[in-house]
A and B are shown apart, each in its own frame.
Chain A
């Protein structure tokens, strides 16, 4: 089955430690994304990558880092510099679904990782 896997589902860390969240996709999508979601809030974009070995900061990149060495993988590191790291983290990839005019994309999401830092 094609899809996006995120592991682990739940992650607990002590304050001051860096932690890396895994995201793997076998959909052959070029673009991948990391979002953060806080309780009762929408999704906020952390980083995105449109091609291997290239990535851009999203709206809330401070305290996070990413790498994109392989098309299938887009790991996110939550560093000790992130002031409020406890959140639900979602990874996504996208495919071009453009038809006759303009560009349109569909994003596919993983099941998420719930990170708790104490």
Chain B
């Protein structure tokens, strides 16, 4: 599985869009990009995944660059409840590797 690189922390004002970047420059052609988040002391929660096309669901949008070497998770209107650690992962099989993620702090 390709290694991913994320900034360790980010801040976002409540109501604004949170844009979380991820680099996965060694991603292979059949590897998906996944995003999960972990609220303090809970199990991680799946957010979204994509292969080549941009994706949107009720939680977030995923923008993948054309060369697939990086992606951005967008929370369109961040709330205090979105404060969490966000993990970007890549993989082809059911076995995924979690890095240390980005700690997003949403503030008033």
In chain A, positions 7-66 with a C-beta closer than 8 Å to chain B are 31, 33, 35, 40-45, 48, 50, 58-59
- In the assembly, what is the distance between CA of A104 and CA of B97, in Å? 14
**Which has the most chain A C-beta neighbours within 10 Å: B45, B93, B95, B100?**
B95
Which of A67-75, A76-84, A107-115 forms contacts with chain B?
A107-115
**Given the contacts A42-B101, A94-B94, A104-B32, A110 and B43 also touching, CB distance less than 8 Å:** yes
Q: Which A residues touch B31, using CB under 8 A? A: 102
Taken residue by residue from 69 to 108, chain B's Cβ proximity to chain A (1 for < 8 Å, 0 otherwise) reads as: 0000000000000000001000111111111110000000
Q: Determine if B43 and A90 form an interchain contact, defined as CB atoms under 8 angstroms apart.
A: yes
Q: What number of A-B contacts does a CB cutoff of 8 Å give?
A: 66
A: number of interface residues (CB 8 Å): 33
In chain B, positions 19-57 with a C-beta closer than 8 Å to chain A are 30-32, 34, 36, 41-46, 49, 51
Q: Determine if B42 and A112 form an interchain contact, defined as CB atoms under 8 angstroms apart.
A: yes
Q: Which B residues touch A103, using CB under 8 A? A: 30, 92-94
Q: Which B residues touch A58, using CB under 8 A? A: 95
B positions within 8 Å CB-CB of A = 30-32, 34, 36, 41-46, 49, 51, 87, 91-101
